[in-house]
Structure 1
Amino acid sequence: MRFQLLLIGALLALVPVYAKAGRFEEQDDGEGSNNHGSNASNGGAHRGHFGYTQPDDWLADFPICSGSRQSPINIELQDVKMMESKRPPLGRYGYDTRPKKMTITNNGHSVQLSGVWPARDTPTVYGGPLTGLYELAQVHFHWGADNDAGSEHTVANHSFPLEMHMVHWKKAYQNISEAIKHDDGIAVLGYLLSLDKNANMGIERMRTDFSKILKPRQSTDIDPFPLSLFDLDLLKEGYVTYLGSLTTPPCSESVIWLISVRIKDVTIDELESFRKLQLDNHDDHNYRPTQPLYNRPIYYLYDTPLKG
């Protein structure tokens, strides 16, 4: 909690930077009737065979993994610019809706949550740094072998034991496979989680059935629940946004990242439930090391709370 308050306080002390409406620049100067994305088997990531012990080996099959717009990154506060934008506030719909079907899958690299929602009610985000509507594809998690590491993004080189990614694709591109080909095709809401005694209700609902997906490629339907159980209103404190990539092969540089600066809670029992899952190559963690920033701007938006 102390680290969280220091982080928010430091960001609020930044000098505002005013940005023009539209897509922000990458470099600065120095599922229902349309739910096909929610059920995509790869969800925009996890392609081919790879492991986390030697992530540099990814480059042989996926050379873009050494590109100039890779994720995750370390977020240094001195690199963050405040953005008081004329953009519309970040909004959402469908996250309070209980899906008709919900599935968890051990894909060998993570545990993935997907669902099928009623027509026109698939979870969707819009506004803020996003132009157009972005529909949910899947939710997945990254963790470590102990409590000292696990998150992919770090803040001032500080790691967190768990990170949750909510992967969305731009509906203008018709499907997630096409969206990945575009530099604004994917939007990921990232949440950092810190050890606490407060249970995370979304994770609690998932881990009830983790015993059915202990091994890679196992999948099971679970009792559906609305994604709002993950306490998604955390973005009300503001969020960091930058242009990046998928953090797993093929490392496509198509992602607009939105990372909450308010830290979520996870209990030790919940963390241990993730660690009991068997991953490919006997990996005991599934986080990629941070990648070079290469002068990409990082913005902090504090005046765009989620609505809807």
Structure 2
Amino acid sequence: MCISSRIRSLLVLLIVLFPISIYAQEVQDEREFDYDKASGKGPEKWGKIHKEWSACNNGKMQSPIDLSNKRVDVVHKSKKLLRNYKPSTAVIINRGHDIEVHWEGHAGSIKINGTIYALKQAHWHSPSEHTINKKRYSLELHMVHKSVDPTSKHQIAVIAILYKIGKPNRFLSKLARNITSLVNQENEHRHPGVIDPREIHMSCRRYYNYIGSLTVPPCTEGVIWTISKKVRTVSLDQVKLLREAVHDHAAKNARPLQPDHKRGIQLIGP
């Protein structure tokens, strides 16, 4: 085996053994950043807090963005987004800046362009981070997935679902008691047992697709975003509960819109 081949093999081994560093996951300790413009730690300053977060200010593929009809390329496909979720044990965590459902077992996966991405966690932003033709919605759910192939070009894939005020969301209704017990309990968690991600009920027939970033530090780029075109409903009380549970500065935990830098945005559907 030549030296270059050995180096490549070693790199693959390191990726397998230490996937967290490659994943560049969202920062869990929210004390170093917030959503308050006056604090000096708000979104406009994220990229200056740590050099590892520089993409937050300097990146050219940042999220969220506006999904404008003027920028969208319509792609006609009858094939649905391939999902294969299943019930698995999970914990609900108050991260201070949001409420997260973290699956401890294998909760299934999605398949994008031949690559399988395993579901890791879900969390909420209020109001929505993405907008459609400049319209901002009341809530946005992010389902975060990680590639099972450590050599994949895109390591993270996020499915986003937008919500408007209306009928209560059944998935949130099932979690309400646990979320209520986490109000103002930063870094605390609850073990509700098994949570079925299929109960989130997203539409997979029509969806937006583009390459962006994480919307919190370190703002890692190269994230595959899939945003469901169908807007679902959530009750006002459910939105209030999610806001009450987190810190005051994160009651509105939506990062401002980022420049799209003429990125390709697709609307895929039949």
How far is the alpha carbon of 1:141 from its aligned partner? 0.4
Residue of structure 2 equivalent to 1:108? 96
Residue in 2 aligned with 1:222? 192
Q: Is the 8 A contact 2:243 2:250 kept in 1?
A: no
Code of the residue aligned with 1:200 in structure 2: it is: N
Q: What is the match of residue 241 of structure 1?
A: 209
Corresponding residue number in structure 2 for 1:131: 114
2:87 paired with 1:98:
yes
CA contact (8 A) 2:107 2:197 kept: no
Q: What amino acid is the match of 1:136?
A: L
**CA–CA separation in structure 2 for the residues paired with 1:297 and 1:275:** 33
**Matches of residues 180-259 of structure 1 in structure 2 within 5 Å?**
183-196=153-166, 198-214=167-183, 215-232=185-202, 234-236=203-205, 238-259=206-227
> What 5-or-longer segments of structure 1 have no aligned partner?
1-35, 144-149, 174-178, 304-308
Deviations 1:158-199 (A, max 9, x none): 1101000000011001xxxxx8xx751111000000000x22
RMSD, aligned α-carbons: 2.4
Large movers: runs of 4+ above 2 Å: 281-284
- Residue of 20, 24, 27 corresponding to 1:46: 27
Specify which of 40, 56, 71 is matched with residue 44 of structure 2.
56
- Report the alpha carbon displacement of residue 271 of structure 1 after superposing the two structures with TM: 1.0
* Cα separation, 1, equivalents of 2:77 and 2:156: 21
Alignment map for 1:1-308 (pairs within 5 Å): 44-47=25-28, 49-53=32-36, 54-60=42-48, 61=50, 62-66=53-57, 67-84=59-76, 89-93=80-84, 95=85, 97-99=86-88, 101-117=89-105, 122-127=107-112, 130-143=113-126, 150-173=127-150, 183-196=153-166, 198-214=167-183, 215-232=185-202, 234-236=203-205, 238-279=206-247, 282-303=249-270
TM-score normalized by the length of structure 2: 0.82
| Equivalent pair of 2:122/2:142 in contact (CA under 8 Å) | yes
**Using a 3 Å threshold, how does the CA distance of structure 1 residues 43 and 136 change in structure 2: closer, same or farther?**
farther
- 1:213-246 Cα offsets, whole Å, 9 max, x none, are 22211111114231111112x122x000000000
Letter aligned with residue 98 of structure 1 = P
Q: Tell me, yes or no, if the aligned pair for 2:72 and 2:267 is still in contact at 8 Å.
A: yes
Task: Decide which structure has greater strand share.
Answer: 2
Contact 1:64 1:251 in 2 (8 A): yes
> What letter is aligned with 2:268?
L
Instruction: Provide the rounded CA distance (Å) in 2 between the counterparts of 1:58 and 1:123.
Output: 33
Residues paired across the two proteins, number:
240
Superposed CA deviations along residues 87-123 of structure 1, whole A, max 9, x for unmatched, are: x642111x2x321x22100111110001233xxx532
Letter in 2 for 1:83: V
CA distance in 2 between partners of 1:134 and 1:68 (Å): 24
Distance 2:27 2:253 in 1: 11
In 2, Cα distance between the equivalents of 1:159 and 1:84?
Answer: 26
- Match of 1:133, SS state, is strand
Query: How far is 1:69 from its partner?
Result: 0.2
TM-score for the superposition, normalised by structure 1: 0.72
Residues 51, 283 of structure 1: 8 Å contact kept = yes
Q: What one-letter code is carried by the residue in structure 2 that aligns with 1:63?
A: S
SS at 2:238 equivalent: helix
